[in-house]
Copies of this chain bind each other. A is one copy, B any other.
Amino acid sequence: MPAAYPEKFKDLVDKKSFAHLGTLMPDGSPQVTPVWWDFDGTHILVNSARGRQKDKNMRRDPRVSFEVSDPDNPYRHMEIRGRVVEITEEGARDHIDKMAKKYMGLDKYPLRKADEVRVLYKIAIDHAQTMG
């Protein structure tokens, strides 16, 4: 049951809006963390690093949910539920630099650790709901 990205919330893609990503822990309980996010026209993209809790969670169970609020109006928000359909390291470093540009105004992501392997997750949208 694929769903589309909500047209009237396209403006949030270019704003410094944080997504709050829900994944599933090994015991099936939820975990929520804030993430930078992006939209490629089809999939929602998030970026993490190999070995982090959300990386392990999305590899084990692809079901995710996330909520994004308009930084200019917290009562305007969308919730998207979907599935991780691709996990790749290809392009993940370029993508985190793109996110550093969007969120921090920097050309290079400044927080990367030497041994960190960036990972890109592509999320298919199954359900989208908006408020405001």
Footprint of B on A, CB under 8 Å? 18, 20-25, 28-34, 63-67, 69, 74, 77, 79, 81
How many subunits of this chain does the assembly comprise?
2
B28 A32 Cβ-Cβ under 8 A: no
**Complex CA distance for A34 and B77, rounded to whole angstroms:** 8
A33 B67 Cβ-Cβ under 8 A: yes
B21 A32 Cβ-Cβ under 8 A: yes
B28 A24 Cβ-Cβ under 8 A: yes
Query: Which B residue sits closest to A18, measured CB to CB?
Result: B74
- For the complex with contacts A24-B30, A29-B63, 14 further pairs of A-B residues with Cβ separation under 8 Å are A18-B74, A20-B32, A20-B34, A21-B32, A22-B32, A30-B32, A30-B64, A30-B81, A31-B65, A31-B81, A32-B32, A34-B69, A34-B74, A34-B77
